[in-house]
Chains A and B, each alone.
Chain A
Amino acid sequence: EAQVTQNPRYLITVTGKKLTVTCSQNMNHEYMSWYRQDPGLGLRQIYYSMNVEVTDKGDVPEGYKVSRKEKRNFPLILESPSPNQTSLYFCASSFRQTLSRSYNEQFFGPGTRLTVL
């Protein structure tokens, strides 16, 4: 089954304790992205990756790191989590947009609910 998976689905941690949220897709997508979703603010992009070893900042990258060593995986790293990073996080993937393929749908993972105390 074609899908985007995230782990863990729920996480409660304390301020300053490094954590990693994993994201994996089995659709051979080049493009992967991380979003956070907060009440009243909608989805905001944290980081994205156009392909292996190619990553770039989104709208709210502060406090986050990512890596793209393999095409299927795109982990989100919080080196020193703070309470303002309490949020619902989504990973998404799609084929890379080209002139002949401009309308690629982003497939979203099930979400990771993170609470930082």
Chain B
Amino acid sequence: KNQVEQSPQSLIILEGKNCTLQCNYTVSPFSNLRWYKQDTGRGPVSLTIMTFSENTKSNGRYTATLDADTKQSSLHITASQLSDSASYICVVRDDRGSTLGRLYFGRGTQLTVWP
């Protein structure tokens, strides 16, 4: 069964600290993995996307890694800011060739950054 599991479910850190969020998936065949940031009451916004051949991708203070062999991804946030408080959602697309691959959503990690 294709699934996406995220951990931890919630996380509280102090402003300026680093943190790492985890995503494990069983989706196969794999096409790509995307991390979204969702602020409270708003729609998700894409942070990074990685394909099978990519190990790491950065977007400012956000760095995503992918290990396609172990089917694990992580999102590392450096020097956290109050505005990083949000839910971070891992989304994996399967590979169905020329047709639209299906998206599998993790349940998200709720990050709270305290001053």
Contacts and interface: CB of A to CB of B under 8 A. Distances in A.
Nearest to A99: B98
A103 B98 contact: no
A61 interface: no
Q: How large is the interface on B (under 10, 10 to 19, 20 to 34, 35 or more residues)?
A: 20 to 34
Interface in A89-114: 90, 92, 96-99, 102-103, 105-106, 108-111, 113
A41 B4 CA distance: 12
A42 B103 contact: no
Given A102-B31, A103-B51, A42 B106 contact: yes
Nearest to A96: B100
Contacts of A113: 41
B43 A90 contact: yes
Contact of A102 (B32, B42, B108): B32
Interface in B62-106: 89, 93, 95, 97-101, 103, 105-106
Interface in B11-43: 31-32, 34, 41-43
A99 B93 CA distance: 14
B49 A108 contact: no
A90 B43 CA distance: 7
A6 B25 CA distance: 31
A46 interface: no
B100 A43 contact: no
Interface of A: 4, 31, 40-45, 50, 90, 92, 96-99, 102-103, 105-106, 108-111, 113
Given A92-B43, A106-B103, 9 more contacts: A31-B100, A42-B107, A43-B89, A44-B105, A90-B43, A97-B99, A102-B95, A110-B42, A110-B43
17 contacts: A31-B100, A40-B107, A41-B107, A42-B107, A44-B105, A50-B100, A98-B98, A102-B32, A102-B93, A102-B101, A103-B32, A103-B49, A105-B34, A105-B46, A105-B49, A108-B45, A109-B43
